[in-house]
Structures are given as C-alpha cells and as structure tokens.
Amino acid sequence: MKIALFTGNYHHIRDGVSITLNRWVKYAMDHGVNIQIFAPTIAEPQVEHQGTMIPVPSAPAPGRPEYRISLFLPAKEREQLESFDPDIVHIATPDVLGFTALHWAKKHQKKVVATFHTNFVSYLKYYGLGAAESVGWRLLVWFYNQCDRTFAPTESMREELMQRGVSSPLSIWARGVDTQRFNPARRSEQWRRNHGISQNDIVISFISRLVWEKNIKLYADVIRQLSAIHPNVKALVAGDGPAGEDLRKMLPNAIFTGFLQGDQLADAYANSDLFLFPSDTETFGNVTLEAMASGVPCIVADAPGSGSLVNDGENGYLLRVSDSDRFFKRAEELLLNKVLRESMGARSAELAQEYRLSRIQQGFLEELSDMLQYEKLQN
C-alpha cells in the first residue's frame, strides 16, 4: 500500500495533530506501508518526524505565527507525487494544500481519505470571529463530502459531522495512548517533593498547549476560587504557548514545568490528583486520555472530544463551559473526598485500556486495506 499524506502540521509544532500523525506513520511503515508526507516546514521544527517528508511552501498564520498556512503544491513536488503514484491520498487538514490534494486525487482517480483532527471553526469565537462559524462549516461539509471516507476521532464528533451535513461515509479513528508509559505506577512522592508539593497538597493539573482556545481562563478562575478557600490546592501547568505569559500572571503560585514530553510528561500526569481541562474545542482530547491512563479523575468540558472519553460521575465529570460554577463545585467535591477521587482515578485507568495505541492503529490500517480490497473486487 502506498499513501500520500497531506497535513498542515507534521513537525513544526508539537501538538495533538503532529503527535497523532507521526505515530500513525511509524506504525504504518513498520507494517509495510510506503508513505510520503507533504507538509509545511520551518528552520527549527519541534518534532523529529517519521518517514519521508516533502516540504511545501507556507506562510505564518495571521495572528498565530507559530502555525503555518500552506500556499500551493509546486511543480517539482507535484512531479514527486505523480511519480510516487499513491493508492490512497490521506488529507489531515482541509487547507490550501488539502484542497489541492483533493483536486489531484479526483483527477487521477485515487481513493481519498480525510481524518478530522482539529475543529478550527470552533476556535473562531475565541478570537472575535464567531460570526464566520456558519461559513466555515459550509466549506468543511463540502470538502468532506468529496472524500471517499472521513474518519472522525470519536462517535460524538462523527454525529456532529453528520448533523452538520456530511453525507459521505464516516468512520471512527480514535487516538491511542501508550498505557505502558502513561501509568499510575509513575506516581512518586519524591517527584512531588522535588516540585514543592507536600503530602497534604492536592495537585490540579492542566496539561496542554497554552492557547486561549483551550479555555485556560476558566482553569485559572477555578484554581483561584479553590485556593482562596483551600490552601492545600496546587496548580500544575505543563505546556507552553502564546498565552503562557498571561496564564503565569493569572496564577503566580502555580507550578509551571514548561513543555514536557516522554517520561517527564508521564510523571506530571501520574503525580496529579485531578485533571481539570475545560477546553470545548477538542475533537478527541489526547491529554484527557493520557490523564486517564495515568489514573487521574478528569473534570472536562462536555464537548465532542472529551465527552467521548469521560463517563460523567464514573471517572470524572462532564460540564458545560457556560456553567463555570459547576467546575468549581465538582473540583471542590473531589478535592475533599479522597475515596471518590481515588475510585474515579482507578476507573479512568481501566477505561483507558480500550484505547491502547497498537489496537487503534491496527484497526485504522485494516480499514484502509479493506477500502482498497473492495475497490479491486468491484473492478
């Protein structure tokens, strides 16, 4: 099988998209798939990418220069694509490059698979552009209806795409987690002492890119309310991003670890007592799943991503972001109830086993193989 992957982010920023796609490419290559990746690049990318990557021209995104907007597919790169002659064109981002790939695939009668990673339209409200949301959805619906199959990350996201008008075949490609690395066994009193955390402290973590669309202000508001009443509350923030400086001003007493990865990231999760993630723009919620695998109860926004991972009242709580007081009340409830906190954490670890990385990747590869096999039978 030969796959041409088109994405707006593969290695220049380390986020959920780049992590997911690099994991997929490594798994696919390990199982005999030949993949070429077409994506923007920068001088010093944050990710050491997997596979053969073919850079395409791009420009900084307006107002968010850390992101790139692909501009076009030059003649040389187009020749490389045609010489590669993929069986499947996999489009991860419906940007200029994605539309170009779609047009090329249709012209050359190639199977087109789209994977839904980022709900860009939902970001607009955080930047004063909420009025453009309906236009954005119309464009996305048209795009996905041109594809042979679209893969949503969760059942709830699949249902939303259907409700928005996507009528092409919709399947699920969940995001997996390495349950060997993200594990409750990594909890360590020494780690906590090294970070100024006492035995009686309750660590409430936020682990993600520090950007406004992750609803960091609500996290900060809840922490400040709790800290005013409960002096043993410790805020732990792992990550970095353009809103990081503002968050530090909002939470001057929090533990800021900066960007973490690998075992250091797993340690941060496992030494949390509660994961508070009020982002309502997630399409899956990789960080929520990592927290669950680490045995941590999760209080999250009731949105298509996290809403498919957290069972309300079982391993945490799902709350509407419009009801900010509920975030405070539920966090305080778990803060004061150790038995409930530990039972929910144990349930989180159990539920995360359903998302073992190898199981998820195998299922996705089998679906792609079945698509090609069905086409051969039809012909």
Whether 123 and 240 map to the same domain: the answer is: no
Tell me the mean pLDDT in the region 115-134.
Answer: 65
Residues 41 and 132 in one domain: yes
pLDDT tens digits, one per residue of 274-291: 999 999 877 778 899 999
Asked if 66 and 92 sit in the same domain, the reply is yes
If asked whether residues 103 and 137 sit together in one domain, one would say yes
Q: Find the mean pLDDT for residues 80-96.
A: 96
Q: What percent of the chain has pLDDT over 90?
A: 73
How many separate domains does the chain show? 2
pLDDT of residue 334: 97
| pLDDT for the residue 15 | 84
Q: How much of the chain exceeds pLDDT 70, in percent?
A: 94
One domain for residues 152 and 267: no
The reported pLDDT for the residue numbered 301 is 94
CATH code of the domain in which 80 resides: 3.40.50.2000
- Does 287 share its domain with 157? no
**In this structure, are 62 and 147 located in the same domain?**
yes
Please check whether residues 362 and 340 belong to one and the same domain. Answer: no
Which one-letter DSSP state was computed for residue 175? Answer: P
Query: 44: which 2 tokens?
Result: 């010093």
Question: In the structure, what pLDDT confidence band is assigned to residue 191 with cuts at 50, 70 and 90?
Answer: very high
Q: What is the pLDDT of residue 286?
A: 87
Please give the average per-residue pLDDT across 226-245, as a whole number: 96
Residue 129: pLDDT band with limits 50, 70, 90: low
| Range(s) of the domain holding residue 131 | 2-176+357-378
DSSP-based three-state secondary structure for 6: strand
Measured at the CA of 346, the angle between CA 343 and CA 348, to 5 degrees, comes to 110
> What's residue 308's pLDDT?
79
Q: Where are the beta strands (DSSP E) in the chain?
A: 2-6, 34-39, 52-55, 58-61, 64-70, 88-91, 111-115, 149-152, 170-172, 202-207, 233-238, 255-258, 274-277, 298-301, 316-319
Q: Is 169 in the same domain as 230? A: no
Which residues have a Cβ under 8 Å from the Cβ of 25 and sit 6 or more positions away?
5, 35, 37, 50, 51
- How does the average pLDDT of the chain come out, rounded? 91
- Asked if 89 and 135 sit in the same domain, the reply is yes
pLDDT tens, 2-15?
Answer: 999 999 999 988 88
Per-residue model confidence as pLDDT tens digits over 165-175 = 999 999 999 88
Give dist(CA 363, CA 374) in Å, integer: 16
In the predicted structure, residue 63 carries a pLDDT above the cut 80: no
The model's pTM? 0.76
142 shares its domain with 40: yes
Report the half-sphere exposure of 326 (CA within 13 A, side-chain side). 14
How far, in Å, CA of 371 to CA of 360, rounded? 17
Mark whether 197 and 324 lie in a shared domain: yes
